[in-house]
A and B are shown apart, each in its own frame.
Chain A
Amino acid sequence: MERIPILKMGPFLLVTIQIDLYDRLALTLENDLINMVSQTGARGVLIDISTVSIVDSFMGRILGNIASMSRIMDAETVVVGMQPAVAITLVELGLTLQGVYTALNVEKGMELLNTKLGDNLELDDDEEEDQDDRND
C-alpha cells in the first residue's frame, strides 16, 4: 500500500501530499504522522497541499484532527499552499479548520513555525526577507 513520506527537518516534520488523498490513505497519514510526532518529539508539523486539487469533508476533518492531536502533543500544525478552489470548497462545506495555522507557501510556513516556537533568530529573518524581495 502506498504511503505518504514524512520528512524530519530539525524540530519540524514536513509532509508533502502530491497525490489525491483517498480515505484510507488519509487515515494512514494521520496515524503515521502522530506516531512520528511522538517518536521524534517534533515541535511543528508542516503539511504542503499545494498540488491537491480535490478535497471533501473527510479530508477537511482529517486535517483538523491532525492539528488537534499534534496540539495535545505540543506541536503546532501549519497547512501551506492551499489552492483557491480548495479553500472555497472547504468554506462552502463549513470547514474553516479552526486551530490550524495556514501559510501561502512552504517558506512562509517555516517562518511562521519559527515565530510560533519563539526561537526565530533575527539574522535568519532578515536573510529570508531579502530573499523574498529578490523573488518578487
Chain B
Amino acid sequence: MNTTAQVLEKNKERILEKWMQNQLSDASLRDDLMTTDELQRQSREMLDGLLRAVAKGNYDNIYDTEFEQVTDTLRDISITRARQGFSPRETGAYVLSLKQSVIEVLVEQRKDDTSMLYQEIMQLNNLLDNLSILTFETFIKGREEVILRQTDEISEISTPVIRVWDGILALPIIGTLDSARTQVVMENLLQEIVNTGSNIAILDISGVPAVDSLVAQHLIKTVSATRLMGAECIISGIRAEIAQTIVHLGIDLSNIKTKASLASALHLAFSMTNLEVRRTERSKAPKLTR
C-alpha cells in the first residue's frame, strides 16, 4: 500500500509545479523584491525537507529533529522577507499555497479512497498550519528586531549636546521625553559639562510635542542635577500651548530660568557670563574683509 509519504514523493515535481503556479499567480507576489529563480530554489529546498520529515511519519511535532531543516529554512525565509519589507499576507501565503498544492495532488491520487484521503488531509492540514504559525512568529520577531534597532538609533541621534559658545552648552530635545530618554539626556549633558567645563546649559524644548507633569518633572530633575554640578540651566523654546499646560497643571517652574526662544536664552547666558554681542561699526567692517 502506498503511504502518504510515498505518494507525495512520487508527485513531488507536480506539487512543486503547482505550488510555483500558485505563488506566481498570486496578485500580491513581489517580483520586484525576489526573482522567480530564487523563489523556485527556496521552494524546492523547503519541499525536499518537508517530504523527508513526512517520510519519517511525524505529522505532529514540528520541533522534532526531523523538521530541523524545514523549520530552519522557513525561519530564514520569514526573517529575510520581514527585513526586505514583504507584507504579512505575502509571507503567510508562501506556506498556505503549499498546503493548497499538496491537497490538490492528494485529491487527484486518492480519488477512490475517501476515508484515507480525509485522514491524510487532516494530518497535513495540522502540520502545515503549525508551520505557518512558525512563519508568523518568525516574521513578527524579524519586524520587532527592526523596530528595536530603529528605536535605539533614534535615541542615539536625538540627544546631541552642542557647544554654542565658550562655557555655554545647548541641548535641543526633539520628541517626547520619557524616563529612559531623560536619563540619556541627563547623562550626556552632565558628562559634557564636565568635559568642557561649561557654566551654562540651555535646554531647548521647542521639539517636544507636549509637556505633561511627568515630562515637567523630568525637566526639573535635569535642571537640579545640572545645578548640583555647579552649572546653571536655562529652559528655552516654551511655546504658548506648553506654557498654558504648565500653568493649568500647576507645575511650579518659578525657580528655573525659562525663555521663549533659544535666541533669548543665549542672550541671557551671555549676560550671565558678562559677555555682549555688538554690531561692528560700518567703517570698520571693510577693513576686516580685506
Alpha-carbon distance A103/B187, docked complex (angstroms) = 18
Interface: A104 (CB within 8 A)? yes
Alpha-carbon distance A86/B191, docked complex (angstroms) = 12
Contact of A96 among B187, B193, B228 (CB under 8 A): B228
Whether B197 pairs with A102 at a CB distance below 8 angstroms is no
Contact of B187 among A79, A88, A97, A105 (CB under 8 A): A88
Whether A82 pairs with B187 at a CB distance below 8 angstroms is no
CB neighbours of A96 from chain B (8 A): 224, 227-228
**Chain B residues with a Cβ closer than 8 Å to the other chain, count:** 20
| Contact (A84, B224) CB under 8 Å given A104-B199, A108-B230 | no
CB nearest to A83 among chain B residues: B194
Whether B230 pairs with A109 at a CB distance below 8 angstroms is yes
Whether B229 pairs with A84 at a CB distance below 8 angstroms is yes
| Contact (A84, B227) CB under 8 Å given A104-B199, A136-B166 | no
Alpha-carbon distance A84/B231, docked complex (angstroms) = 12
Interface: A29 (CB within 8 A)? no
Whether B221 pairs with A91 at a CB distance below 8 angstroms is yes
- Tell me, rounded to whole Å, the shortest Cβ–Cβ distance linking B156 to chain A: 18
Contact of A84 among B166, B191, B199 (CB under 8 A): B191
- Tell me, rounded to whole Å, the shortest Cβ–Cβ distance linking A80 to chain B: 6
Whether A104 pairs with B230 at a CB distance below 8 angstroms is yes
Contact of A102 among B187, B221, B230 (CB under 8 A): B230
Whether B230 pairs with A84 at a CB distance below 8 angstroms is no
Interface: A87 (CB within 8 A)? yes
Whether A104 pairs with B224 at a CB distance below 8 angstroms is no
Whether A87 pairs with B228 at a CB distance below 8 angstroms is yes
CB neighbours of B225 from chain A (8 A): 84, 87-88, 90-91
Whether B228 pairs with A90 at a CB distance below 8 angstroms is yes
Which A residues are within 8 Å of any B CB, using their own CB?
79-84, 86-88, 90-92, 96-97, 102-105, 108-109, 136
Which B residues are within 8 Å of any A CB, using their own CB?
166, 183, 186-187, 190-191, 193-194, 197-199, 221, 224-231
